Amino acid sequence: MLIIMKPSATPQQIENVIQQIKKEGLAAHLSQGIETTLIGAIGETHDLATEHFEVLDGVEMVKRITQPFKLASRQFHPVNSVFPIDGFQVGGDDIALIAGPCSVESKSQILETAHAVREAGANALRGGVFKPRTSPYAFQGLGEEGLEYLAEAREQTGMPIVVEIMSQTQLDVMLNYVDVFQVGARNMQNFNLLRMLGETRKSVLLKRGLSATIEELLMSAEYILAGGNKQVILCERGIRTFETSTRNTTDINAIPVLKNLTHLPVILDPSHATGHADYVSAIARAAVAAGADGLIIEVHPDPAKAVSDGKQSLKPEKFAEMVKQVKAIAEVMGRRIAPINKPVTMGW
Ligand code: PEP
Ligand code: MN
């Protein structure tokens, strides 16, 4: 339920509404815009009459949020959510460009990649250290050693780091290193993990499950938001279809659909969506043209030798070429790739 306050509502009247929401056993979520104050009453509101709030002083209108996701809904929060990721803003006019290898393999590999992508224009670095591999015999990631290398890459390049978390047991160690937690497609409905990330105050990049609907993605985001963590970035990464010529099928529709349904930033991962380096740039361009707030791209200095996802990884030169094209599309869309303010402190 959404309680819309009058522009003239006083802080005391807002507080009274919040107290009334709590008395009903619901959670109150305040969203204060320049002109309007919206208060969400979140919980079981089916049987609750809107009159309970309509009679309170300072209340203009009470609306039911019809979608099953509430905090993630644009009905609840009409303007785009914009929040900082160490050094730049995500969700506003600027585009996030997260790049790096699928897996951190060695110190030299991540440092070389980090410098190359930063030089090409990336504003954040990705790298997996706990890998969700289809086979239990495949490389599972470097663990904390990999986090240390990523931290060094951040130190040298000024780029925040985005790392996948697979289980609750990894939280404590990761909190010391990462700027953005990535939740992979396979864990999109790991509700315990989502709840735990909702308790943190670090950004979460939530990937769409392999066969998840857009509504299911938004319900997963709701788990994180319900814990009070407002910094959720949604990521379309391709879905399973009958088509086999690409690893997955990019649901390009998901970008405008999500932008319509939610205030959260939406980015696209053309690497996993296509599974093939030759197609990554085309889909990256399409994503920005469709209104994506960012991209996450796999880049490897020597894709043929990559321990995971080499086939879909761009060489640094190809990535630089892609960035030029994406910049041009961003300009047409009235946007730009977010610059990072921090200096490169050490060359490669
Ligand atoms: C990844 O980003 O390397 C990854 C495993 O992605 P996804 O969860 O989308 O498959
Ligand atoms: Mn990968």
CATH code reported for the domain at 2-63: 3.30.70.1140
Instruction: Say yes or no: CB of residue 128 within 6 Å of ligand 1.
Output: yes
Best of 164, 178, 274 to mutate for ligand 1, by most ligand atoms within 8 A of CB?
A: 164
Domain 83-337 architecture? Alpha-Beta Barrel (3.20)
Whether ligand 1 lies within 6 angstroms of the CB of 132 is answered as: yes
Note the pLDDT of residue 68. 93
Query: Ligand 1 pocket, 237 CB below 6 A?
Result: yes
2-63 and 83-337 agree in CATH topology: no
Ligand 1 atom with the shortest distance to the CA of 128: 3
Q: Which residue has a Cα nearest atom 3 of ligand 1?
A: 102
pLDDT recorded at residue 66: 86
Instruction: Give the global pTM.
Output: 0.95
Q: Ligand 1 atom 8: the closest Cα is on which residue?
A: 184
Nearest-angstrom CA–CA distance, 114 and 124? 9
Is ligand 1 within 6 A of the CB of residue 84? no
Count Cβ atoms within 10 A of the Cβ of residue 60 and give its class: 0-12 exposed, 13-18 middle, 19 or more buried: middle
pLDDT score for 86: 87
Domain ranges across the chain: 2-63, 83-337
Q: For ligand 1, atom 4, which residue shows the shortest CA distance?
A: 184
Specify the pLDDT at position 293.
98
The confidence score (pLDDT) of residue 217 equals: 98
Q: Which of 102, 130, 188, 205 to mutate to test the pocket of ligand 1 (most atoms within 8 A of CB)?
A: 102
Establish whether residue 272 lines the binding site of ligand 1, counting it when its CB lies within 6 angstroms of any ligand atom: yes
pLDDT of residue 40: 93
Distance 39 CA to ligand 2 centre (A): 40
Residues of the chain with pLDDT under 50: none
Task: State which of 207, 267, 311 you would mutate to test the pocket of ligand 1, scoring each by most atoms of that ligand within 8 A of its C-beta.
Answer: 207
Determine the pLDDT at residue 348.
75
pLDDT at site 36: 85
